[in-house]
């Protein structure tokens, strides 16, 4: 293909992190977009031929003019809106930069929503390809492959991995090297004066600082080097990785500084905490005599830092990760085994002593690097953009997605915050105003904590943490250590009262929420507290008889096991309670009454859900089948002849051989069905549960017996249910939390569905 064949008005959108965000992928994308713009005669930031869709974390960035759309990485709706935006735009080709960590969802699966909805040819560049992926990582990459016209890898090893491990057709795979700036081949002494390094042999590592870079090994290796070459100086250039800094602050950098002092290397090892411009980086590179990447993992398919060093003609010493093996072969650098500090030390000393060898390695590297400069890389990308556009068939735009997407409102916590004070969440409301007369319940604070943890799981927004701490604190105060039970009712004047309500159900609800918190903890401290409470409260559950309490403890145990799979006492408790629940079914169930009691009351769906989850976890088919059968029956008796959900009312409930109460219908029942059907779908992979989820969710949005909306889009709250005369306009805690739990499950489903279902 020649450039003259490519249409002069081609328009491209890059989807990636982007400058000024401190991220290697952001820098790569900016440089690639600039290089492509050169071949398109379209200056970056001017006109509309090259645009950027930027991935945001929790930071607000001051983007340049070429950024036309921003995606909040944890918001699944943003990905769908971005797809709609691109579909309606004049963009011809989309170029996606993929790294698991920059997209939200498990294994970065949120990006699949974007790809599933795009009606444009997509070229995806894989910056990481794992040799031993988890199941969800495997399926995520496979789905990206299915929804991309071409896949670019910066190392030939990537082609091998994508074919052999991920089963991707070789016709889709393209090798294009990692781009580099065009750096002149200068003597290292040229810039040493600017850095006060005259007369010193400089070793350089640069990049975002994090524990996986192997810097400790490098510092350990320098002790004998310094004795032989006292003129040596090692510079680690780069700020702490933002994700590391957000969680741990500068703890890692401080630990390295302490290590340097303890070894007496303060005059030889320098941590330059700076994120420098490209021009400044070039000077650092030219000044260095040896460049080192002592990384710890083999599974690294690309490294911008290594590419830059090779293109600059540096003497490179590296551990043998895949990209290093490829770039440094044939006499272009030196490889040392992972973790071999002695070998690393010896190779550096030998190179510092052998100028002839250094010069030979430098020349070999620089000559090889000429094929990696951005001008050449930009040309290759420009050509495959046209190839993808040329080969993109009309059938792509009409390809159906097997699982229909849910059109979801954004999460609105306005009313949740209104209902909450410094103690916790109020139980009731007078319309939208908190009703202090009824105080608080542990039940509701447990549900509120679950909502906060679900929100963190999806969006990772730190603004939710103060609420999360408040509700967790309430649960901690509710626990009565002597009987090992949770108290439920707490008055506004700060007194615990016993209103005769089943404490087992409250206790089970809290165990379920603590298990959820353990499965998806925002911080280690929250995890530690939740773990202590869970283990203190678990033993008393063995004597429970309430089916709902049994069910919630079972579900809590399963969630807890996601964090601590080897907790045998938790698994044993699940077995005991599951058998107890099965006994209740055997004593009460019949062909036309598939239930564990002689009456169907409240929060019903959690009971069959527990059997489905336990059956899957314990490998017990009898539990799983009973749970599925009971959930199907429960849905059948609560589905109106018109097809919408009609939940059991709380006036007289539904007694065996009696008539189902039509009202009052409570949001808790719809939420329980959403949750149960969600888990049934995840476990069985049966698509019938998707329609049941939809039906249960839309009960909140007007598909109910009164055809009236329960969710209030203005306040973010949910009305307290359906009465015989219409909607109950009070917006209490249980109702609002039921809505929020359901909404978060739907958002999780939107994230996970592309992994489970593929294009026809």
Q: What is the pLDDT of residue 402?
A: 32
Tell whether the model's pLDDT for residue 7 goes beyond 80. no
- CA atoms 529, 535, 536, 537: torsion sign: positive
Q: What is the pLDDT of residue 645?
A: 95
Q: For residue 276, is the peptide bond before it cis, meaning its omega torsion is within 30 degrees of 0?
A: no
Measured between alpha carbons, how far is 521 from 513 in angstroms, rounded to an integer?
Answer: 11
Per DSSP, helices labelled H in 479-567 are 503-519, 524-537, 547-561
Measured between alpha carbons, how far is 672 from 668 in angstroms, rounded to an integer?
Answer: 6
Tell whether the model's pLDDT for residue 174 goes beyond 90. yes
Distances in Å between the Cα of 473 and the Cα atoms of 425, 449, 470, 477, 730 are 12, 10, 5, 6, 27
Question: Quick one: average pLDDT of 191-204?
Answer: 92
With beta carbons less than 8 A apart as the criterion, state whether 368 and 310 touch: yes
With beta carbons less than 8 A apart as the criterion, state whether 263 and 231 touch: no
The span from the first CA to the last CA of the chain, in angstroms, equals 32
With beta carbons less than 8 A apart as the criterion, state whether 597 and 584 touch: yes
Q: What is the pLDDT of residue 473?
A: 98
Exposed/middle/buried for 727, CB within 10 Å: 0-12, 13-18, 19+?
middle
Q: Do domains 3-179+375-396 and 188-372 have the same CATH topology?
A: yes
Measured between alpha carbons, how far is 702 from 518 in angstroms, rounded to an integer?
Answer: 35
Tell whether the model's pLDDT for residue 706 goes beyond 70. yes
What is the pTM assigned to this prediction? 0.64
Q: With bands split at pLDDT 50, 70 and 90, how would you rate the model's confidence at 106?
A: confident
Q: What is the pLDDT of residue 406?
A: 46
| pLDDT tens digits for range 209-230 | 888 889 999 999 999 999 999 9
Percent of the chain with pLDDT over 70: 95
Closest to 149 (Cα-Cα) out of 394, 390, 395, 392: 392
Torsion region of 645: left, alpha or beta (phi above 0 gives left; psi -120 to 50 gives alpha): beta
**Interhelix angle 465-478/503-519, nearest 10 degrees:** 140
With beta carbons less than 8 A apart as the criterion, state whether 754 and 109 touch: yes
Q: With bands split at pLDDT 50, 70 and 90, how would you rate the model's confidence at 121?
A: very high
Fold of the domain built from segment(s) 188-372: Rossmann fold (3.40.50)
Measured between alpha carbons, how far is 739 from 715 in angstroms, rounded to an integer?
Answer: 13
Q: For residue 448, is the peptide bond before it cis, meaning its omega torsion is within 30 degrees of 0?
A: no
Neighbouring residues of 469: CB distance < 8 A, sequence distance ≥ 6 = 526
Fold of the domain built from segment(s) 414-752: Glycosyltransferase (1.50.10)
Q: With bands split at pLDDT 50, 70 and 90, how would you rate the model's confidence at 393?
A: low
Question: Quick one: average pLDDT of 638-655?
Answer: 93
Neighbouring residues of 164: CB distance < 8 A, sequence distance ≥ 6 = none
Measured between alpha carbons, how far is 417 from 409 in angstroms, rounded to an integer?
Answer: 18
Measured between alpha carbons, how far is 13 from 106 in angstroms, rounded to an integer?
Answer: 25
Any idea which of 86-95, 122-131, 495-504, 626-635 has the lowest mean pLDDT? 495-504
Per-domain residue ranges of the chain: 3-179+375-396, 188-372, 414-752
Average pLDDT, the chain: 91
Task: Output phi, psi for 274, to 5 deg.
Answer: -150, 145
With beta carbons less than 8 A apart as the criterion, state whether 52 and 95 touch: no
Q: What is the pLDDT of residue 410?
A: 84
Q: What is the pLDDT of residue 241?
A: 84
Q: With bands split at pLDDT 50, 70 and 90, how would you rate the model's confidence at 657?
A: confident
| pLDDT tens digits for range 556-610 | 999 999 999 888 999 999 999 999 999 999 999 999 999 999 999 999 999 999 9
With beta carbons less than 8 A apart as the criterion, state whether 316 and 361 touch: yes
How many other CB atoms sit within 10 Å of the CB of residue 90? 11
CATH number for domain 3-179+375-396, candidates 3.40.30.10, 3.30.300.130, 3.30.360.10, 3.40.50.2000:
3.40.50.2000
Question: Quick one: average pLDDT of 356-360?
Answer: 94
- CA atoms 272, 274, 278, 280: torsion sign: negative
Closest to 67 (Cα-Cα) out of 80, 83, 48, 84: 48
Higher pLDDT, 188 or 447: 447
Q: b/e per residue, 65-87, with b = 16+ CB within 10 A? A: ebbbbbbbbbbbbbbbbbbeebe
Tell whether the model's pLDDT for residue 705 goes beyond 60. yes
Tell whether the model's pLDDT for residue 407 goes beyond 80. no
Measured between alpha carbons, how far is 283 from 41 in angstroms, rounded to an integer?
Answer: 29
User: C-alpha 569: how far from its chain's center?
Assistant: 30
How many other CB atoms sit within 10 Å of the CB of residue 407? 10
Tell whether the model's pLDDT for residue 197 goes beyond 60. yes
With beta carbons less than 8 A apart as the criterion, state whether 106 and 749 touch: no
Tell whether the model's pLDDT for residue 372 goes beyond 60. yes
Percent of the chain with pLDDT over 90: 77
Q: What is the pLDDT of residue 30?
A: 96
Q: With bands split at pLDDT 50, 70 and 90, how would you rate the model's confidence at 89?
A: confident
């Amino acid at each position: 293909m020649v450039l003259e064949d490519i249409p002069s008005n081609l328009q491209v959108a890059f989807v990636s992190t982007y400058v000024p965000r401190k991220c290697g992928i952001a820098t790569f994308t900016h440089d690639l977009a600039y290089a492509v713009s050169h071949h398109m005669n379209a200056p970056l930031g001017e006109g509309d031929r090259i645009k950027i869709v930027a991935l945001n974390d929790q930071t607000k960035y001051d983007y340049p003019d070429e950024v036309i759309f921003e995606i909040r990485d944890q918001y699944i709706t943003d990905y769908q809106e971005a797809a709609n935006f691109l579909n309606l735009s004049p963009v011809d080709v989309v170029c996606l930069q993929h790294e698991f960590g920059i997209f939200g969802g498990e294994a970065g699966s949120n990006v699949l929503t974007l790809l599933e909805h795009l009606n444009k040819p997509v070229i995806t560049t894989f910056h990481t390809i794992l040799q031993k992926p988890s199941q969800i990582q495997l399926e995520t990459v496979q789905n990206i492959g299915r929804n991309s016209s071409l896949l670019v890898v910066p190392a030939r090893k990537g082609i091998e991995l994508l074919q052999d491990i991920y089963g991707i057709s070789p016709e889709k795979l393209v090798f294009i090297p990692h781009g580099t700036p065009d750096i002149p081949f200068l003597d290292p002494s040229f810039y040493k004066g600017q850095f006060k390094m005259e007369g010193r042999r400089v070793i350089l590592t640069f990049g975002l600082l994090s524990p996986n870079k192997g810097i400790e090994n490098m510092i350990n290796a320098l002790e004998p080097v310094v004795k032989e070459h006292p003129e040596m100086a090692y510079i680690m250039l780069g700020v702490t990785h933002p994700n590391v800094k957000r969680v741990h602050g500068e703890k890692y950098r401080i630990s390295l500084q302490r290590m340097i002092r303890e070894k007496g290397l303060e005059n030889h090892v320098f941590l330059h905490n700076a994120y420098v411009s490209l021009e400044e980086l070039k000077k650092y590179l030219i000044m260095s005599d040896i460049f080192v990447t002592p990384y710890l993992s083999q599974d690294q398919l690309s490294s911008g830092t290594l590419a830059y060093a090779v293109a600059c003609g540096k003497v490179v010493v590296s551990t043998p990760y895949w990209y290093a093996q490829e770039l440094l072969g044939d006499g272009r650098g030196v490889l040392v085994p992972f973790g071999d500090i002695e070998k690393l030390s010896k190779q550096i000393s030998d190179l510092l002593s052998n100028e002839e060898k250094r010069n030979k390695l430098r020349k070999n590297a620089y000559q090889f690097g000429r094929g990696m400069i951005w001008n050449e890389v930009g040309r290759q990308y420009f050509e495959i953009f046209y190839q993808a556009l040329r080969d993109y068939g009309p059938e792509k735009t009409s390809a159906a997605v097997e699982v229909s997407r849910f059109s979801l409102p954004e999460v609105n916590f306005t009313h949740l915050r209104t209902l909450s004070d410094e103690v916790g969440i109020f139980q009731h409301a007078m319309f939208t105003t908190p009703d202090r007369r009824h105080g608080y319940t542990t039940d509701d604070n447990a549900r509120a904590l679950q909502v906060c943890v679900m929100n963190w799981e999806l969006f990772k927004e730190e603004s939710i943490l103060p609420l999360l701490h408040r509700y967790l604190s309430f649960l901690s105060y509710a626990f009565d250590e002597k009987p090992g039970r949770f108290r439920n009712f707490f008055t506004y004047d700060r007194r615990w009262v016993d209103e005769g309500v089943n404490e087992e159900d409250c206790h089970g609800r809290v165990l379920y929420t603590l298990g959820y918190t353990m499965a998806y903890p925002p911080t280690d401290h929250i995890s530690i507290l939740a773990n202590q409470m869970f283990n203190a409260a678990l033993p008393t559950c063995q004597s429970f008889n309430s089916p709902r309490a049994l069910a919630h403890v079972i579900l809590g145990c399963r969630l807890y096991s996601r964090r601590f799979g080897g907790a045998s006492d938790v698994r044993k408790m699940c077995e005991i309670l599951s058998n107890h629940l099965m006994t209740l079914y055997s004593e009460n169930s019949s062909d036309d009454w598939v239930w564990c009691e002689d009456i169907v009351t409240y929060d019903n769906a959690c009971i069959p859900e527990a059997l489905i989850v336990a059956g899957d976890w314990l490998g017990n088919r009898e539990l799983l089948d009973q749970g599925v059968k009971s959930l199907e029956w429960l849905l059948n008796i609560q589905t109106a002849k018109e097809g919408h959900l009609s939940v059991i009312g709380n006036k007289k409930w539904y007694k065996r051989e009696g008539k189902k109460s039509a009202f009052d219908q409570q949001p808790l029942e719809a939420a329980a069905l959403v949750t149960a059907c969600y888990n049934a779908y995840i476990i069985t992979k049966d698509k019938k549960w998707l329609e049941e989820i939809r039906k249960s969710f839309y009960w909140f949005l007007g598909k109910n017996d009164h055809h009236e909306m329960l969710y209030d889009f203005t306040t973010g709250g949910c009305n307290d249910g359906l009465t015989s005369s219409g909607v109950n306009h009070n917006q209490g805690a249980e109702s609002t939390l039921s809505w929020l739990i359901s909404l978060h499950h739907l958002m999780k489903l939107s994230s996970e569905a592309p992994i489970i279902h593929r294009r026809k």
